[in-house]
Chains A and B, each alone.
Chain A
């Protein structure tokens, strides 16, 4: 385990250094803003960018700007969403284009379509831009869409006030309350408390089943936010989200790994839950020799190392997106990704928790961070098919053998 931790750390560090090198020396400027101006306002002839905040101004008083220059603090699920916006002299939106973002493509592909962006056109900078009223929300991409609406609204108001002399009533704080993080927190605390303090209860496993079912319904289907290796990649690349839900998911999972190892995998992970429930269907399970099982469990670390290399060297988080649960719960993916989902789920009929044991990058990460602990001798009905006294990094804390 120590060797694995060391190898993956070295790969991560070298990839990060290589990535920064590539970014700095090999790539040109990321955004050619002028190339967007003709699309946004074809009639306008823009002068050079100037002023504070910096804007492109045309002779007919049309204004174009990059929202990131005006409101860099508004962030989506993976850092800022940079949008080029053009306003006419009456502070109405003439056009807009998303020029850069690092959101997970599975969730936000609709947001980038011209048909979706066209609903911003004609809006006055002083409008409310409320989701589901003025702007359509996108299921499973609420945080990203809200960030897009907020960044366009906020920056348009600032630019219209400074460059066009418009006045607006002060914003009354957050227009949409986000309670999702509270629901997630309640579920997380409930599951962690049950796992740590109610081991001796006779119906402990029923509590766990309830927690797994809640994981599927709340984390998987309702929030569409299972903890993913993409969260960690964004964190390491310094692109955290400003969403409270994002922060709660990342902080709670990483802290729980330190306290209780792979507790998240055993109690809350919606994909693990589905895998486990499929594995309970009475079908003969394949008998895998212990040595083979142990050898192949290292595969998830190799795949994680490959993903780390791809993401950190390119600084593109989407290159490391192969997680079956991201495809499943975002309801978006290409044919290959969906094949992987179907394959990983069907395999559970013959091999218990197939994805969790051999392939899952979150399992690999939590395994790397898990501390050594005793008291989990394993038994024949172990959902991970662990042998007696397994490595604690392979134990998902179902508590069958310790209660």
Chain B
């Protein structure tokens, strides 16, 4: 049976369960995205920018990529 037909013949109980599970997954995704956006994405974005700059400019001059680990050198 086609998946659309399967949904159409689902009983109310099954439709309800699917709806609420989908809503729960959405909520967990929203919560997870808030954390990832704050903790992970800035690092990824910074890395992509540094890598891009290295590929476009630094590598042609024979220079190394900036590790951006200067914060570790702080006391």
Contact = CB atoms under 8 A, between A and B. Distances in A.
B28 to A, nearest CB: 8
A232 to B, nearest CB: 16
Contact of B24 (A303, A310, A336, A351): A303
Contacts of A286: 12-13, 15-16
A340 B30 contact: yes
A134 B1 CA distance: 66
Given A319-B38, A336-B26, A340-B26, A289 B13 contact: yes
The contact size tier of chain A is 20 to 34
Contacts of B38: 316, 318-319
Interface in B13-37: 13, 15-17, 19-20, 22-24, 26-31, 33-35
A359 B16 contact: no
A337 to B, nearest CB: 5
A292 B19 contact: no
Contact of B27 (A303, A319, A334, A350): A303
B43 to A, nearest CB: 16
B-side interface mostly: helix
Nearest to A28: B74
A359 B12 CA distance: 19
A340 to B, nearest CB: 5
Interface in A277-321: 286-289, 292, 296, 299, 303, 306-307, 310, 314, 316, 318-321
Contacts, number: 69
Given A288-B12, A343-B23, A347-B23, A337 B35 contact: no
A321 B34 contact: yes
A288 B13 contact: yes
A340 B23 contact: yes
B26 A296 contact: no
Interface string A321-343: 11000000000001011011001
A144 interface: no
A336 B23 contact: no
A334 B35 CA distance: 13
B51 to A, nearest CB: 23
A344 B13 contact: no
Contacts of A344: 23
A292 B16 contact: yes
A303 B31 CA distance: 10
A322 B27 CA distance: 6
Interface of A: 286-289, 292, 296, 299, 303, 306-307, 310, 314, 316, 318-322, 334, 336-337, 339-340, 343-344, 347, 350-351, 354, 358-359
Given A350-B16, A358-B20, 8 more contacts: A288-B16, A296-B16, A306-B31, A314-B35, A316-B38, A334-B30, A358-B23, A359-B24
7 contacts: A286-B12, A296-B16, A334-B30, A339-B26, A347-B19, A350-B15, A350-B19
